[in-house]
Chains A and B, each alone.
Chain A
C-alpha cells in the first residue's frame, strides 16, 4: 500500500499535486477534462476584494519552451467568488486553496477576513504578481515588506497561510525566512519570472503590458534551484512550482524539498497534466518501492 498523503500546516492532502493559481480558474473549465477529486488541492485564480478588469490585450505570448502572461489578475471579486466558485469546489473531495490578491494591505485583509467564514482550507497570499502596478510584487521584493504583510495577514486569517514568493529577487532564502518570521505556515514558489518579447515586424512589445511573467518548462531549472534554497532556509513546508509538466518534474521538486507541487502552464497545453502527474508519481513509487512519499521530500540535499 503506497502512501501519497502529505500534510501542510496540519491539513492532510491526499497527494502532493495541486494546480498553480491563475492556470486553472476555479476548476470548472478543467473539470471537463480531469476528475478534480483526484487532486491534492485546487488553487484558485487570485481573488481581490472587488472585481478587477485586468490588463489590455494581448495578454499572452509564446516564448521558447514557455510563455509570457500579463493577465493583470482579472477576477470577479470576493463576493461573486464566495457565492459561486467556493460552492463549486465544495462538491469535490479535494482541498481548496484560495489565492488572495490586493493593491493595499487593507485589500488583502478584507479578503482574508471575508474568507474566514468560508469553507476553504488554505489562503495563498499573492505578493508576487509581476503584472500589476500596485500591490502584488511590491509586497514581495523587500524582506521587511514580506514579513509585515505576512504578519498582518496571519493576525486576521482563520485558515493556514501560504505566502507565494517571487523569483524576481536577489536572495530567495531571505524572502522565505522573512515569510517564516512573519508567521507564514507555508511558502509557495516560484511565481513567474519577469520577461519580455518584441514583435520585430510590428516593432512593438508582444504584450500590451510590455513585460509579462514567464512560465513553462523553460523556467524549471531556475524554479527548482529556488525551491531547494527556500526549503534549506526555512522549517515551514514549501510548495514547489515552476515549469512542472510531468511526474519526473514533480519528483525533482519533491526531492529538492517541496512537500507539495503545483502544475501551472502545463494545464494550458495538456489539460490532463495534473492527473497524469498523480499517476506518474504513484508509478514511480511502485517501481522504486517507496512506501511513503514523505521519504522523498527533501531527500536530495
Chain B
C-alpha cells in the first residue's frame, strides 16, 4: 500500500495503557500511539472511533498530555453519550482506533519574560495541561469548574492555579473572569479553551485589556480533516478554503486568534 506519506497524520489501532476516573463522568486515558505522539503539539486533538458500527463518526477529543519519548498520549474527556461511555470502559491493553494529531495547536513562540493566562473551562481544561508543560514563560492557570475539580494538582507543577466554581464549592464563586479579578491577576497573553460563553467573556476581557488572546473552539465534526465542512466557525477574514467567512475548526483551528473569530 502506498498510503504512507510524509504527512504526520495517521489512523492507527493504538493500545490503551491506563484508564482512570478523575471525577464524576471525567476520565483520563493514556494510550500508546507513538506515530501520533511523535508529531503532536499542545492544542491539537485526536479523533477516537468507537467499536460500535452503529456509531460511525469519530469523537474529537483534545490531547491533554504528550510524551514523545514514550510514544504516549493522554486524553481527559467527559462521558457525554454512548460513544464516550464506551471509551470509559476501555482497560489497559485494549485496542482503540485513533486518528491524529489533528488541527493546528497553540502557538508556543514568544518572549519568555511575558506573563500568560492559561484559562480552561470544564472539559476545555485538559488541553491546557500540555500547553502548560511546553509554554516557556510565566504561567498562571485559571480553571473554571461546575463543581468537582480535576487536574488541578497537576497544573500546580507549572505555576499558580486560580479556580472558579459555579457553586462556589472551591475557589471563586463564578466564572474564570471573576477568579482573575478576585485574585488581582494580570497577564500579557491569554490561551483559553472552554464553552462558548466562557470564550466570549475571555475574548471581551482580553480585547479590553489589549492582550494577545488565543481561543480553542469546538463544534460538531464529521471528518476531522477539513473535507466535510461541518465544523465551521464564523471568521472575520475571508477563509482560505471557501472564500466566505467560515474557518474550519478541525483544519484551520481549533486554535484561533480571538479577533479572528466571531463568537
Contact of A268 among B3, B54, B228, B233 (CB under 8 A): B228
> Is A294 an interface position by the 8 A CB rule?
no
Do B57 and A77 have beta carbons less than 8 Å apart? no
Report chain A residues within 8 Å CB of B224: 268
- The answer to whether A29 and B225 touch (CB under 8 A), given A65-B56, A75-B242, A271-B11, is yes
- Give the distance in Å from the alpha carbon of A65 to the alpha carbon of B241 in the complex: 30
Contacts of B2 in A (CB 8 A): 35
User: Are B230's CB and A59's CB within 8 A?
Assistant: yes
Pick the contact of A53: B55, B228, B230, B246 (CB < 8 A). B246
Q: Are B227 and A25 in contact (CB under 8 A)?
A: yes
Chain A interface, >50% SS class: loop
- Could you tell me if A271 and B225 are in contact, using CB atoms closer than 8 angstroms? yes
| Residue interface mask B209-229, A partner, CB < 8 A = 1 | 000000000011111111111
Interface string of A46-81 (1 = CB under 8 A from B): 000001111001111110111101010011110010
- B229 touches which one: A62, A66, A74, A269 (CB < 8 A)? A74
Contacting B at CB under 8 A, from A77-106, are: 77, 80
A58 to B222, CA, bound (A): 11
**B231→A69 contact, CB < 8 A:** no
Q: Please, which residue of chain A has its CB at the minimum distance from the CB of B1?
A: A275
Q: CB within 8 Å of A: which residues of B?
A: 1-3, 5, 7, 9, 11, 49, 53-58, 99, 219-233, 241-246, 251
24 residue pairs from A and B, CB less than 8 Å apart: A23-B227, A24-B227, A29-B227, A33-B9, A51-B242, A52-B242, A52-B244, A53-B244, A53-B245, A53-B246, A57-B232, A58-B220, A58-B230, A59-B232, A64-B54, A65-B53, A65-B54, A67-B56, A69-B230, A71-B230, A76-B242, A76-B244, A272-B3, A275-B1
- Give A contacts to B, CB under 8 Å: 22-25, 29-30, 32-35, 45, 51-54, 57-62, 64-67, 69, 71, 74-77, 80, 216-217, 265, 267-272, 275
